[in-house]
Amino acid sequence: MRNLKKFEDRGGEFLIPLSDFKNKALKIKAIIFDWDGVFNSGVKGDNVYSGFSEVDSMGLNILRFGYTLFSGNLLISGIISGENNPSTEKFVNREHLNFKCLGFKNKIEGLTEVMKEFSLKPQEIAFVFDDILDLTVAEKCGLRFQIHRKSAPMFSDYVKDNHLADYVTFSSGEEFAVREVTELLLAALDVYPEAVKSRMDVDEKYSKYITERNSIKPKTYSPNTSY
C-alpha cells in the first residue's frame, strides 16, 4: 500500500479504504474516460476544441501495457463524451483505443453499448469523470475516479455523500489528471517499474504489446436518442 499512499500524500483523496481500492483495481478489465474536463480544462469556443496532452497519452499507453504484464490481456479502453470533438477522434484513432461514444448526452446509453459489445460486468470497469452528466455512468461502474476541480465544492460533496467515486485526484484536467489516474492504477497493479523499464528498452514484451495495440480499429457508437 506504500505506493498508493504517495498519491494521498500529494493530495489525492481515497474515499474507500486503500485495501478496498486495490481489490477493485485488480478486478478491472476496461477503463472509460469522459473527455471534456478530464483530458483538458473543458474550455471551448468558436473553432476551439478541447484537446489532449502527450503527458496523458503516455500515461494511458503505459497503463495499457502494464495491464498486459499484469493480466496477459489488453485493457479495453475508450471515451464516452457528450460532444463530437475532432480532438477526441484524433486521440482515439492515434492511440488505437477500442471505442468512442461521441455525442452521447445520455451517457448511460453509451455504457450499455460498450458493456454489451465487450461482455463487461460493471465491477470490471474503471471510469474517469469530472461533472454532473457523468454520474449515471459513475453510479454503475466498479472503480470511479473523480477529477478534482476547486470551483465545484458542492458537486464534490454530492459525489462523496452519494458514494459515486472511490478516488478524487489532486490534479485537475488541465494539470494532467489522466496521468495521475494511470500511474495510480499501475501502482495498484504493482507493475510500474517493470512497465517503464520494458518501454525504455522496447523489449520483446513491449514490442508484442504495441503490435497488438496498433492492430485495434476503434469501434464507433452513435446515440439512439437525441437530447
Query: Which residue in 134, 197, 204 sits closest to 165, CA to CA?
Result: 134
- From residue 103, alpha-carbon distances to 88, 106, 109, 217 in Å are 11, 9, 11, 20
* pLDDT in the model for residue 45: 73
* pLDDT in the model for residue 48: 62
List of long-range contacts for 105-110, beta carbons under 8 Å, 24+ apart: 105/133, 105/223, 105/227, 106/136, 106/223, 106/225, 106/227, 107/34, 107/80, 107/82, 107/133, 107/134, 107/136, 107/137, 108/136, 108/137, 108/140, 109/223, 109/224, 109/225, 110/80, 110/137, 110/221, 110/223
* pLDDT in the model for residue 210: 98
**Cell triple for residue 169?**
485526484
* pLDDT in the model for residue 201: 98
- The percent of residues in the chain predicted with pLDDT above 70, rounded, is 98
* pLDDT in the model for residue 227: 43
* pLDDT in the model for residue 156: 97
**Class level of CATH domain 2-42+50-217:** alpha beta
Q: Where are the domains of the chain?
A: 2-42+50-217
Band of pLDDT at residue 226, cut at 50, 70 and 90: very low
Query: Which residue in 218, 170, 220, 189 sits closest to 62, CA to CA?
Result: 189
Each residue's pLDDT tens digit, 127-179: 999 999 999 999 999 999 999 999 999 999 999 999 999 999 999 999 999 99
